[in-house]
Structure 1
Amino acid sequence: MDLRAIPDSMAPAEVRKIDAELGRIEHGHGVSIGLAIESGSRAWGFPSPDSDYDCRFIYIAGLHTYLSPWRTRDVIETPLVGLLDVNGWDLAKTMRLLVKGNAVLIEWLMSPIVYRGDARFRDELRTLADEVADRHRVARHYLHLGARQWTLFGSGGSLKKVFYSLRPAMALRWLHEHPGAAIAPMHLPTLLEQCELPADLVAAVRELTELNSRTREMGRGTAPAPIAEFIMAEFDRATDAFPKMPDRDLVRAKALTADFFRKQVTRN
């Protein structure tokens, strides 16, 4: 079954360009795209009027490529054209990154915006991610990402950049409230809905999101107090809850991903 989930807010002309580019990639590189999604601020739930279209995809090459002794590139990158940014990873690279706990890949699987894809492929890959994903590594990814952005923001900066710390902080809060899960939603409004949060924080986030949605330049300033306090508190808690740990045993994770890889390649 084919996947397709494009919100009405996205410009039809830009979506058509992405569709055409994905078709050219499949034909020109001789690959099959298992999943192509939106990965930027549009999928995160806080786009501005001039937000780029960040299409990311996972592709499967032909069996002859994987059976060759000569390695080929495991990414497909296209030039930036206007607002379009279209790039993808080979399935083998995807498996390696999944085992390493790459949270970016996991977010691709959770994107609410899907350009194309095979439902069985995504569902099976999500199931695999649930089995393989390392909750601790995912949480530390959000902690490092968010803390770095918060340091760059400092005592004041572009208000739009508050979101780059807020979303990781909200993902950490979601993980705290869902102790049995390793994969948090990537969509900020969904994170808000699925966490118990103070009313003033929710109101401040929604107000900032609304401002961002209707202006290209939000200006500079300090983050609203409820948001700043939340971000710092979540990073402090995560620092204690998710300390640096020794590398885990990857035997089982490697076996599961190898089985999945062989199944998809031979099926393709």
Structure 2
Amino acid sequence: MRRLAPDMDPEVVAQIDARLARASDEHAVAIPWAIESGSRAWGFPSPDSDYDCRFFFVRHRDAYLDPWPPRDVIETPLDAVLDVNGWDLVKAVRLAENGNATVAEWLRSPLVYDGDPAFRDALLEACEALVDVHRVGRHYLHVGEGQWQRSGADRGRDVVLKRVFYALRPAAALHWMRAHGSATPPMNLMELFDEAPPPPALREAVERMVTAKAVTRELGTGRVDDVVVRWIEEQLADARDRYDGDLSPVGARRRRAAAAFRELVDAWAPA
């Protein structure tokens, strides 16, 4: 499948396609899922936002039996426009089992360069089966608190809007998790709001911020509405209490993760 936004630069997209093809050939891997991450997929791009392509890759089965396995990431040269890199399936499963929400987010990106829905569904099903909600909640809480402290938006002055959005999205993910009782929220901010509606005044204020960011440079500044400040702080405070309990035992979850990994390798390793 391929699902891209009409405002994405076709020349840049072609360069990304070429990098993905070259990575597959040079490293002898299958790339069953390649998506856009970053502000474009999160729903609050700026005119000068770069392109953040992320992908999962699967090696030949024998590579996973090598006592000196190759690196579990593939990185391409970083420049002002392109940031293209990917994770080995084994890295993705390990991170998902440990509560890293990024794996499920990539699987739910609204912008797909190339992907097989069957792979997406299988890995997402594995994520939903093996992740610990408390671990994912703590992941979003940690990210949200760090970005919120950096933003300075609670001090009533103009701030870099990008940093506020980087705190707002984890807060919205925590709100979504509370509403759904699940650990695999969407990546896109407005999808989070659609599936777990916040107060109307909050959404209206955020939509004004998105509109402002869409016509300013990536590090543009602005004043944050009080309703946004209060809502972010409420979500973070709730998560501190909600995810303060014990984590589930590791053993059973890792056995499920290992079984899911083997099934995915059987299905998607290159011949």
Structure 2 length normalisation: TM-score?
0.92
SS at match of 1:240: helix
CA deviation vs aligned residue, 1:19-47 (integer Å, no higher than 9, x gap):
11000000011111121111111110111
Contact 1:211/1:218, CA 8 A, preserved across alignment:
no
Letter in 2 for 1:172: L
Letter in 2 for 1:89: W
**Match of residue 264 from structure 1:** 264
User: Alpha-carbon deviation of 1:217?
Assistant: 5.5
Alignment RMSD (CA, Å): 1.6
Picking from 121, 125, 128, the partner of 1:127 is 125
**Match of residue 19 from structure 1:** 17
Aligned ranges 1:214-229 → 2 under 5 Å? 214-216=215-217, 219-229=220-230
User: Aligned equivalents of 1:265 and 1:115: distance in 2?
Assistant: 22
**Match of residue 191 from structure 2:** 190
User: Aligned equivalents of 2:188 and 2:260: distance in 1?
Assistant: 27
1:57–1:173 Cα change, 3 Å: same
Which range moves more in the overlay, 256-265 or 221-230? Answer: 256-265
**Match of residue 29 from structure 1:** 27
**Match of residue 110 from structure 1:** 108
Gaps of 5+ in 1: none
1:167–1:88 Cα change, 3 Å: same
Picking from 50, 54, 58, the partner of 2:52 is 54
User: Aligned equivalents of 1:219 and 1:64: distance in 2?
Assistant: 49
% of aligned pairs identical? Answer: 45
User: Alpha-carbon deviation of 1:110?
Assistant: 1.1
CA deviation vs aligned residue, 1:30-76 (integer Å, no higher than 9, x gap):
11112111111111011111111111111011122122222211111
User: Alpha-carbon deviation of 1:247?
Assistant: 4.2
Gaps of 5+ in 2: none
Aligned ranges 1:165-244 → 2 under 5 Å? 165-179=167-181, 181-216=182-217, 219-243=220-244
Letter in 1 for 2:185: A
Picking from 158, 176, 180, the partner of 2:160 is 158
Structure 1 length normalisation: TM-score?
0.93
User: Aligned equivalents of 1:18 and 1:79: distance in 2?
Assistant: 11
1:139–1:152 Cα change, 3 Å: same
1:247–1:236 Cα change, 3 Å: closer
**Match of residue 92 from structure 2:** 94
Contact 1:31/1:60, CA 8 A, preserved across alignment:
yes
Contact 1:159/1:220, CA 8 A, preserved across alignment:
yes
User: Aligned equivalents of 2:218 and 2:264: distance in 1?
Assistant: 44
Question: Number of matched residues?
Answer: 264
SS at match of 1:214: coil
Contact 2:49/2:218, CA 8 A, preserved across alignment:
no
User: Aligned equivalents of 2:13 and 2:218: distance in 1?
Assistant: 24
User: Aligned equivalents of 1:144 and 1:27: distance in 2?
Assistant: 37
Contact 2:41/2:109, CA 8 A, preserved across alignment:
yes
Contact 1:34/1:59, CA 8 A, preserved across alignment:
yes
User: Aligned equivalents of 1:34 and 1:118: distance in 2?
Assistant: 6
